A and B are shown apart, each in its own frame.
Chain A
Amino acid sequence: MGNHPREQFDNPVVEWVDSRLPIFTILNKEYGVFPTPKNFNYFWNFGAIAMFMLVTMIVTGIILAMHYTANVNLAFDSVERIMRDVNGGWLLRYIHMNGASFFFIAVYIHIFRGMYYGSYKRPRELLWILGMVIFLLMMATAFIGYVLPWGQMSYWGATVITNLFSAIPYVGEHIVTLMWGGFAVDNPTLTRFFALHYLLPFVIFAVVFLHIWALHVTGSNNPLGIDVKGPQDTIPFNPYYTMKDFFGLIVFVMIYCMFIFYMPDALGHSDNYIPANPLSTPAHIVPEWYFLPFYAMLRAITFNMNVYMLAGLALLAVVLVEFVWRHKPKYLNAPIGFLIFAAGGALALFGFLADMNQDWEIPMSAAEVAPVPAKLGGVLTMFGSIAMLFIMPWLDTHPIRSARFRPLYKATFLLLFVLFVALGYIGSQPADANVAGIPLSVFGLALTGYYFGFFLVILPLLSRFEKGRKLPLSIHEAVLAKKQQFQGVSA
């Protein structure tokens, strides 16, 4: 590290420190003169905004932790004491409470931006994966944090989510008991959740450091998705993007403050102002909004996967690998492939119908002998949906990054975005809700199907067959062309 050329600083104190530990040189290199594509749009603000939110959450969280008591008899009261007696406590808590939501808003925009402009692609795969690790850690931290006020939603949310792990065959029940430290969510659970909620943000911070490190190795992607070809394509990070990031940040903070001061409870759930009661479950329990799409996918699996269905799915997977993922089928030819496809589809459908109609009494179709019961199926689907994001760089191998030059990818991706939000809506509704007599879970299943189809089928197919638009020669030329176009309009 020490053998990089160091620059001289005019300020003697800075120079003294830097000649012994070159932090100012590093800062200047990574955030001062760091060459950055000159064509970022405002979607590129959200990395810095997410960082701001992380720091805000850690600072307010540390102060709240000083006032909070992690004990089932005192937790709710201590939170109300923060709201009523601690000086400015209500403000700190509302900043923290809404901060979780706004952290997720920033990160979701950041992720969707990365997907839209192909930031996950070579050579930024590891950068993307580190980002997904951060996303997973955030989900864990947010879930655990929501348990701490020990309201009804805290308690029952904790019960339902920890019970997901009981779906794991053989060891599930033991894992859940281990997580609880008892035979239900109780004081040991709360105490360990508090400890983890304090720890995980610092782990996130460490992974963010790696994420930024990886970013500064490859350099940033940009809205055109083409590589930087020379110094004419870039500008120094400071002052151009520091100013732009600050402006975007303040606008974001303004919206955030509108929630803090004018609708502080709008993103939460009123049931969490009722102290936890292990004897009565609220009529309609939902997770926080940022989990809803994944929750909807969990609930979409209402059927057991019996041997027929699994066999059918296995056959379909063979077709997927041979004909969709491989550029040239290796073992099968088209007619045989079609036969396997038809057989797999029929078998899966048969298995589904056999499960739905238990009174047909088809051998090996009873719910009890299904290798993947509905509960496990739901859990696998939910975790699978996040796994899709992790492997996205290898599912989409199209050489063009930005959706601007890939009309088909753009259309299918934006549809995914809309359906993802629709999944969130479905996740927010009661389990028995229906539209025109059709249960919402049917829609949920269809949208879940599209979600997985997008990643497993559409992306590989587009990688092979989408032609894409002509790319500009360089960022510099594209920016110039745009400028001239504007001048032409205004002239």
Chain B
Amino acid sequence: MSAGANIQNGQHDDGETRRGFMQMLAGAFGAVGLGAFLVPAVNSLNPAKDTLALSTVEVDLSDVPVGGSKTVMWQGKPIFIRHRTAEEITEAEDVDVQTLTDKQTDESRVEKPEWLVVVGVCTHLGCIPQGQKTTDNHGEFGGWFCSCHGSQYDTSGRIRKGPAPKNLAVPPYKFVNDTTIKIG
């Protein structure tokens, strides 16, 4: 750069500083212009409006018997819904929270005790745990078992054993009526 500016250095310092200022200004404008293009360009890779519009789903629960499960898709991920039996509820409520990896009470994870709704994605590295079907391996704690790396979840979807750091996430949902929930 310096070689270019030096070639004919007849001018006084005054002009030099003003030019330096203008160069900075031009550089700033160039940076802003580039940024003004790059921000929408990168933002276009975020979820599009049609994707966002599908971010709620209503689920009819009337066909899930006590002890049964249902899996629905929400935002491209499986949602595990379990109609828990009385034993499963007691089992989940009786655990000493202080012994857990991720300390959450069962009450804080359900709207109604008989319905457990969790995102069916292992919090370790994103596999789908087994346990939705009665024939599946439910793990030692009667919930779900992730066959990828052996994480075990209880009947409240909490991590009890294995490498996963957190409980299965609870998606935002609410009961529209007694037998219908709206997720998202």
- A residues in contact (CB < 8 Å) with B: 28, 32-33, 59-60, 63, 66-67, 81, 84-89, 91-92, 235-240, 246
**Contact indicator B7/A235 (Cβ below 8 Å):** yes
Could you jot down 25 A-B contacts, CB within 8 Å? A28-B3, A32-B1, A32-B3, A32-B4, A33-B3, A33-B4, A59-B41, A63-B44, A67-B44, A81-B48, A81-B50, A84-B49, A85-B49, A86-B49, A87-B44, A87-B48, A87-B49, A88-B40, A89-B48, A91-B40, A92-B41, A235-B7, A236-B4, A239-B1, A239-B5
Interface string of B1-33 (1 = CB under 8 A from A): 101110100000000000000000010001000
Report the bound CA distance from A276 to B26 in whole Å.
46
Contact residues in B for A239 (Cβ distance below 8 Å): 1, 4-5
Contact residues in A for B50 (Cβ distance below 8 Å): 81, 85
Within 40-95 of B, Cβ neighbours of A (below 8 Å) are at 40-41, 43-46, 48-51
Report the bound CA distance from A32 to B2 in whole Å.
9
Report the bound CA distance from A238 to B26 in whole Å.
15
Contact residues in A for B3 (Cβ distance below 8 Å): 28, 32-33, 236
Contact for A87 among B1, B26, B46, CB less than 8 A: B46
Given contacts A84-B49, A86-B48, 20 further A-B contacts (CB under 8 A): A28-B1, A32-B1, A32-B4, A33-B4, A60-B41, A81-B48, A81-B50, A86-B44, A87-B40, A88-B43, A88-B44, A89-B48, A92-B41, A92-B44, A235-B7, A236-B3, A237-B4, A239-B1, A239-B4, A246-B26
Report the bound CA distance from A66 to B42 in whole Å.
11
Contact residues in A for B4 (Cβ distance below 8 Å): 32-33, 236-240
Contact residues in A for B41 (Cβ distance below 8 Å): 59-60, 63, 88, 92
> Which of B43, B44, B50 has its CB near the most chain A CB atoms (within 10 A)?
B44
Contact residues in A for B43 (Cβ distance below 8 Å): 87-88
Which 9 pairs between the two chains have the least Cβ-Cβ distance? A88-B40, A85-B48, A236-B4, A85-B49, A85-B50, A238-B4, A86-B48, A33-B3, A87-B43
Contact residues in A for B49 (Cβ distance below 8 Å): 84-87
- Min Cβ gap A258→B in Å is 16
- Min Cβ gap A48→B in Å is 14
Q: Dominant SS at the B interface? A: helix
Count contacts between A and B, CB distance < 8 Å. 54
Report the bound CA distance from A239 to B7 in whole Å.
11
- Min Cβ gap A484→B in Å is 19
- Min Cβ gap B55→A in Å is 13
Q: Is the interface on chain B under 10, 10 to 19, 20 to 34, or 35 or more residues?
A: 10 to 19
Report the bound CA distance from A87 to B43 in whole Å.
6
**Contact indicator A63/B45 (Cβ below 8 Å):** yes
- Min Cβ gap A426→B in Å is 38
Contact residues in B for A87 (Cβ distance below 8 Å): 40, 43-44, 46, 48-49
Report the bound CA distance from A89 to B44 in whole Å.
6
- Min Cβ gap A55→B in Å is 11
Contact residues in B for A85 (Cβ distance below 8 Å): 48-51
Report the bound CA distance from A92 to B37 in whole Å.
9
Contact residues in A for B46 (Cβ distance below 8 Å): 87
- Min Cβ gap A62→B in Å is 10
A92-B40 contact given A235-B7, A236-B7, CB 8 Å threshold: yes
**Contact indicator A238/B44 (Cβ below 8 Å):** no
Contact residues in B for A237 (Cβ distance below 8 Å): 4
- Min Cβ gap B70→A in Å is 30
Report the bound CA distance from A227 to B45 in whole Å.
51
**Contact indicator A238/B48 (Cβ below 8 Å):** no
A66-B45 contact given A33-B4, A88-B40, A91-B40, CB 8 Å threshold: yes
Contact residues in A for B44 (Cβ distance below 8 Å): 63, 67, 86-89, 92
Report the bound CA distance from A481 to B3 in whole Å.
27
- Min Cβ gap B100→A in Å is 40
Contact residues in A for B7 (Cβ distance below 8 Å): 235-236
CB-CB nearest in chain A for B5 = A239
- Min Cβ gap B44→A in Å is 5
Report the bound CA distance from A254 to B51 in whole Å.
34
Contact residues in B for A86 (Cβ distance below 8 Å): 44, 48-49
Report the bound CA distance from A86 to B1 in whole Å.
42
Contact residues in A for B40 (Cβ distance below 8 Å): 87-88, 91-92
- Min Cβ gap A141→B in Å is 21
> Which of B3, B4, B43, B51 has its CB near the most chain A CB atoms (within 10 A)?
B4
Contact residues in B for A81 (Cβ distance below 8 Å): 48, 50
- Min Cβ gap B74→A in Å is 19
Report the bound CA distance from A92 to B40 in whole Å.
8
**Contact indicator B1/A238 (Cβ below 8 Å):** yes
Report the bound CA distance from A246 to B22 in whole Å.
14
Report the bound CA distance from A444 to B21 in whole Å.
55
Contact residues in B for A91 (Cβ distance below 8 Å): 40
